[in-house]
């Protein structure tokens, strides 16, 4: 969730920039849980974060 907060703060300072480096991530969660369930879960977790819920609780829900 800190990445969302950091992104929002950076948007207030400058426009997003494209980087030349490549980042590889796993699609495991998307494949196992499906697109809709994964998107909904991420939205709920983000909402709980902005409501101020404890990040340890949100982390347990994420896993």
pLDDT tens-digit series, residues 6-47: 988 999 999 988 889 998 999 998 999 999 999 999 999 999
What's the token pair of residue 53?
């819920």
Report whether 49 contacts 4 (CB < 8 A).
yes
Question: Cα separations (Å) of 19 from 25, 27, 39?
Answer: 16, 21, 25
State the DSSP code for 14: S
Please tell me the predicted confidence (pLDDT) of residue 34: 95
- Asked if residue 2 has pLDDT above 80, the reply is no
Please tell me the predicted confidence (pLDDT) of residue 63: 81
- Asked if residue 62 has pLDDT above 90, the reply is no
- Asked if residue 48 has pLDDT above 90, the reply is yes
How far is Cα 51 from Cα 34, in angstroms, rounded to an integer?
Answer: 26
């Amino acid at each position: 969730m800190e990445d969302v907060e950091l992104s929002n703060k950076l948007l207030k300072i400058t426009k997003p920039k494209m980087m030349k480096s490549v980042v590889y991530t796993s699609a495991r969660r998307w494949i196992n849980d499906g697109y809709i369930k994964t998107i909904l879960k991420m939205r709920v977790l983000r909402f709980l974060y902005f409501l101020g819920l404890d990040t340890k609780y949100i982390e347990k829900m994420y896993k």
